[in-house]
């Protein structure tokens, strides 16, 4: 099994938003497990990382939280994407794609002048 890696700064919010876009409303534990699963278990999220990000996204209006009951009959806060969150996904996706393309140029063309 590959070693676990830390979540890169600026990526967790996008991972949370994309998870909610894909799966619909989820509680924090479900979001964390899905992110870990999608990463091929290369990322391990702890609650000290996840919940502050959820609070920040909620304060920004990207997600909305409502209390509900989980699959195991426990009270849980379920998060869902808002219209502002969908717009944030589009913007952040463009930003990350541009950043990846720039970095790729450096990694693949080290020393070359375009």
Tell me the per-residue pLDDT of 39-62, one tens digit each, with 9 for 90 and over: 999 998 888 889 999 999 999 999
Q: Which two tokens stand for residue 11?
A: 């990526």
| Spatial distance between the Cα atoms of 19 and 97, rounded to a whole number of angstroms | 18
Domains, the chain: 12-108 (1.10.10.10)
Is the pTM here over 0.75, yes or no? yes
Q: How confident is the model at residue 71 (pLDDT cuts 50, 70, 90)?
A: confident
- Alpha carbons within 13 angstroms on the beta-carbon side of residue 2 total 10
Residues 36, 96: contact at Cβ < 8 Å?
Answer: no
How high is the pLDDT of residue 34?
Answer: 96
Tell me what percent of the chain is helix, strand and coil, each rounded to the nearest 5. 55, 15, 30
Residue with tokens 């009951």: 69
């Amino acid at each position: 099994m590959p070693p676990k890696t830390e979540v890169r700064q600026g990526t967790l919010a996008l991972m949370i938003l994309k998870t909610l876009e894909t799966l619909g409303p989820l509680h924090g534990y479900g979001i964390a497990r899905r992110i870990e699963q999608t990463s091929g278990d290369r990322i391990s999220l702890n609650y000290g990382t996840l919940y502050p990000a959820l609070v920040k996204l909620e304060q920004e209006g990207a997600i909305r939280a409502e209390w509900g009951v989980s699959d195991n009959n426990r009270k849980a806060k379920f998060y869902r994407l808002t219209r502002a969150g969908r717009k944030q996904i589009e913007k952040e996706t463009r930003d990350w794609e541009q950043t990846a393309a720039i970095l790729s140029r450096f990694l693949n063309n080290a020393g070359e002048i375009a």
